Chain A
């Protein structure tokens, strides 16, 4: 049996540097590089992702990121589902802002059917409202969780309290708290509930002070700034070549927002600003997200004033289900209902790429239709995946502890990244 001292050395892999009997040379850490596994199940890894780190002491020399632990075959499953049945799958891509995914998929299918100009105005407004609410939940989760990982537990609780209000209202709208499946091709599933206007106004009035409180706690917080400012900085050129979009791209100074640059839905009718960062570090990413929450609140307030009355789904028989009353009472509508459910929406052969501004950036769906009710191919351009591919580069030469804020601010959502 080995003596306890050498056993201890074996387990710890190093000598006891506190031992006064050792000389300078002996107390130094071994000069060779060490390989450490971070994840796949690690409290600071949002979702499940594995990083094989090569470290020199505490410094990261190389990191090989291996996603895929949450791969659920979104694309393969979509090829075997009708266009409407894909909506629940899209909910599970970025599960923090499912409404935006729903809208993206609906827009891709509408693009293939040349339906985009025929969506009722009210449906477009509802889509923008629910998308912006989702964007707020997405950013709030990202900021709250990152702050918590750096030890600030209070903002996390405050922000998640606000997120819960939004989830509550979205549940009222769609019937589900998290996986809404609310948007349909041609419009939305059902109209906004009664009193939605008052509920949302009240909600926004409640949220603004929460945001202010959290900003007071974080913006000039010494620990928070020390851990975020200057960490994980990326140059503008690197960010462009790395495909960074959304809050991460904007933190690097890339003036690109799909809502402004390729305006869709009713975004041209509302006024909002696109915040830009200057340093491209974690602190900028945090600030951009906080500003975007405020801009989303601005958009929501405008939408509540501007939203018109009218139908919430197009009357086009190719995509809209017949009203339930007709489906039960007339044979034509019943057959239409049946065909709609069993065969799905008939999308003409062709391909199209439609993209929206998701919580993390450009979220696009590339859909190939072959004239049947099921997509021939459905590809999702998930921003998380693209952003994650830049992480090995930006975490190089940082300390292991810096991986936590870098990962928090990249906001990798496992479901979206791994498809």
Chain B
């Protein structure tokens, strides 16, 4: 549907685009992590692109990725980046859509933040951080949003068991609690 957008991105930012693909009418462009902000700014401001409306941010954890009916080479392996951060954008003027994907390796789960460009991504990046532990560089206020700060781990990662329970940490059980007496801490 929006193949011309993909062509335009490749034409304008050939070095920043890893590859492009189309699935079920959705256009996907894989962007190199370091070039994301430049490409996104261009997508927002270029008159032929004008991606003014943010749609969503999320992340795909490929840890358990063994698709049936596809060649084994597509399965996730240690040397492939584990996370894919997805940014979906839409243009109100031109009615085209695009999904930007950024490959993020497991040992360095960082991604540049686009919250400065589209305000709506501020909370959605916080949600992605909360659920997947992706750290968004340059985010103005990167805190957990659904869960509480004392929560350990990132629940939507594939290695977080669904049945795992965490007792709700009480503030007065925590070491940082200023109300606890010094004597108690020493004991």
Contact = CB atoms under 8 A, between A and B. Distances in A.
Contact of B120 (A112, A242, A254, A256): A242
Contact of B24 (A79, A112, A256): A112
> Helix, strand, loop or mixed for chain A's interface?
mixed
A163 interface: no
Nearest to A79: B162
A262 B55 CA distance: 14
Contact of A366 (B58, B123, B145): B58
B147 A71 contact: yes
A80 B160 CA distance: 13
A407 interface: no
Contacts of B55: 243, 353, 362, 364, 381
Interface residues of B, number: 40
A366 B115 CA distance: 21
Contact of A368 (B54, B60, B66): B60
Contacts of A80: 162
Interface string A213-254: 000000000000000000000000010111101000000001
Interface string A382-419: 00011011100100000000000000000000000011
Contacts of B53: 240, 243, 245, 256
Contact of A76 (B58, B99, B120, B162): B162
B123 A385 contact: yes
B118 A376 contact: no
Contact of A353 (B66, B68, B88): B88
Contacts of B65: 370, 376
Contacts of A390: 119-120
Interface string B151-184: 0000110000010000000000000000000000
6 contacts: A71-B147, A112-B24, A114-B24, A351-B26, A353-B88, A370-B65
Interface of A: 66-68, 71, 73, 75-77, 79-80, 111-112, 114, 238, 240-243, 245, 254, 256, 261-262, 348-353, 362, 364, 366, 368, 370-372, 376-377, 379, 381, 385-386, 388-390, 393, 418-419
